Each structure stands twice: as C-alpha cells, then as structure tokens.
Amino acid sequence: MSPALQVTLIVVIVVLGITIVGYFGFRISRSTREMGTDAEEATYKTLHHMSVAVPHLERGLTKEGAAKSAKALRRLLNCQVLLISDSTRILATDSGIEFTAQLEEDAAEASASTLATGKTQVKHSTSMDIVAAPIMVGDQVVGAVIALSQRAGASFVRAVSEVAVFVSAQVSTAQLDESKAMLLEAQMRALRAQISPHFIYNSLNAIASFINTDPARARELVIEFADFTRYSFRRRGEFTTLAEELEEIDRYLLLEKARFGDRIKVSLQIAPEVLPTQIPFLALQPLVENAVRHGLEARPDGGVISITATEDGMHAVISVEDDGMGMDPEQLASVLAGTTTTMHVGLRNVDLRLRQLYGNSNGLIIETAPGAGTLITLRVPKFRAPDTTGAEV
C-alpha cells in the first residue's frame, strides 16, 4: 500500500471511530484502571469491528467478502439491517430483524438513488429509516452501504457515511493492488517478448551449425534451449530463487557461447547463504543479456561478465558487471525514464519492477561510461513470504 493510501486509511479510521463513539453517546467517566473509561471501551469495540471487516474487503467488492464484512459493520453501527451493494445489485444483507419484502424494496430504491447521485440518501419507510451512502473509488460510485434503523438522526447518517468512506478506502486499496498486479504481469509479458526473435534466431543458427560437425553438442544445446524457454515462459508467480535464476543464466550463456566461443568469459562469485533468496522472476537474466548484446557483442575480442552475490545484513546484494562498450550516462537516464525505447529495454523493465516491489529507492544502481564497461547492482531483502500466486503451466 502506498504511503498516501496508508495515511488516508488512518485518517478514515480515526474519523470513523470518533463518529461512531459520538453516535452512541457513551458517557466519559472514570472506571477501574483495568477496564478504562466507557469511551475507551467503546473505541476498542469500534476498532475491533473495523479490524474484523478489513480482511474480507481486501479483494474489493465481492459477494463473499461483502457477506462476511456486513455482519461486523452492522454491529459497528448497531443498526437493525445492513446491506452492501455494488453498482448493479445487492451483494450481502445482515439483519437482526425480519427483513420484509417491502423493506427490501425500499432499501433497493435508496441504494439506486445513491448510485445515481453519488450522495448519501435518507428514506423514511413505514417501520424503518433507511440511510444509503456511496462507496467511491476516485470519482466513481462503485457501490453503497445501506443501513436500516428505527430512527436515523443526524449522527446516525454521519456514521453510515463514514462507514462507507472506510469501505471505499479498502476497495480502493484492493483495486490499486489489482492494478499493480496487472502492471507487473504486463511487464513480465514485455520481458518474455524481449527474449526475442534476435536471441532465438541466433541460438537456433548456432545449434544448426553443430548438427553435422558435432551432433552431441547440438543435442545438448537443443536441450538447454528447451529448458531456457520453458523457464522464461513459465507462469508460476512473480518470484524465484537466486539459485534458479543463476541456472537460467548459465543456460543463456551456454547458448551465447555457442555463437561467440571464447570471446565471452564468465566469472561467478556467489555466497552460498544468499542462494535461497527470493528475487523477482527474470530480474538478472535481462541484465546479463544487456551485458552480452550491448557490452561485449560489438567488441572483436569479447570480454568478461562478472556476476557476484553477497550478504549485507538482511539484504542480498547482486551485481552484474562487464568490461565492454559501456553506455552514455545521459542516454541511460533517458532509458530508465522511458523516453528512449530503442535499446536497453530490459534495464528499464527490471528497474520499474524493483521499485514497485520494494519501494522507489530500491531500483537498479548503474555505473557506466562510454568505453568503461557497466556495473549494475541491485539489493533485495533476504527473507520474504514464498510466492504462491499463479500456477505452473
């Protein structure tokens, strides 16, 4: 969750807690030291009901999540009936009374008015007052919180509105997380597309060149090429281990060496304790490919690619260095800013993913100059929950 959304959510929670406490009219009086004041107890209950509702709204306005959160929100408001709708239908109803067809019709009417106007609506039915408040994501009305009470005074109307703001914050966060996931998936597709015809064509040509002269080598390269493409196009979540990524890099370099021979030399210095570190999928291979294509390929005598990984407290520090052509720092800045898309696309892609996953200050650190080679460094936390999203295909 972004810092701005965190601040917004904290403000919503505080305002909501104050409003609900005010609505119930709890008296502030001294109580026992163990129990605290009546106001403190009311605040704890308010926060408890909110904390119960939060996990069920993490995926946005779903029927299952609405059904489970409605119960906690009804207790929070201490109303007779509470409904949650999306933009087209009632998703959930939690009732402490007999919910008649007439009340259901009146609640649906109040919800429709709120969805149409984006404003809180109050409807006086024969036996209940109905308050419907909009659930907003940005400027868009995506649903409504509808509460039924025997008497809906100004404090109750305000309380329902604040609950709707609270739900809006949760739904907005869920949509942001979904958008972030979609963006990361789009970037993964872009990276896979970059394992491009350029590499595939050259690899197949290299394999073909050994079919007559060294059939055993050709078979070995075919197997490595198949394993490389299987790994690169897998759909098993957005993280992998450093050990698995290094195996992929080994296959990639084996295929490139089939073309370049001894022009490409590789140096590895990997601390064993960082091998299990979870890193973003395809975070290193594009950096090594950049070193080959833009650093060493144009040099007649090739060069050396050095890959190091060390432990630094709670982080693993990983670097890819080449002694090749280097880059113009101004051109590099344009690439990372997205204003140049003709070269080094993989660098920008990896940089963006690191910033999205670990924060804006945790992108690639790149040291380079024309003729001076390139050193690319990244830092990732050593410990994180295993990635279980996505399925193997």
Q: Can you tell me which residue has the tokens 């739904």?
A: 171
The low-confidence residues of the chain, meaning pLDDT below 70, are 1-54, 56, 58, 174-198, 201, 232-237, 338-345, 384-393
Nearest residue to 110 via CA among 177, 162, 160: 160
Distance set, CA 355 to CA 203, 280, 287, 361 (Å): 32, 11, 16, 7
242-260 and 197-210 helices, crossing angle to 10°: 60
> What whole-number distance in Å separates Cα of residue 41 and Cα of residue 300?
77
User: pLDDT at position 271, please?
Assistant: 94
pTM of the complete model beyond 0.75: no
> Residue 1: what pLDDT?
53
Beta strands in 303-387 (DSSP E): 303-312, 315-322, 365-368, 374-381
- Nearest Cα neighbor of 21 from 78, 68, 81 is 78
**Checking DSSP bridges between strand 264-270 and strand 303-312, what pairing results, if any?**
parallel
In angstroms, rounded to a whole number, what is the distance separating the alpha carbons of residues 185 and 190?
A: 9
Give the model confidence (pLDDT) of 113-149 as tens digits: 999 999 999 988 777 899 999 988 877 888 999 999 8
Residue 283 · residue 350 · CB < 8 Å: yes
Task: Give SS3 for 173.
Answer: helix
Please say whether the beta carbons of 258 and 228 come within 8 A.
no
Spell 35-54 as b/e; 16+ CB within 10 A means b.
Answer: eeebeeebbebbbebbebbb
pLDDT at 223: 86
Q: What is the pLDDT of residue 379?
A: 92
Hey, what are 190's tokens?
A: 């872009």
The pLDDT of residue 387 is 42
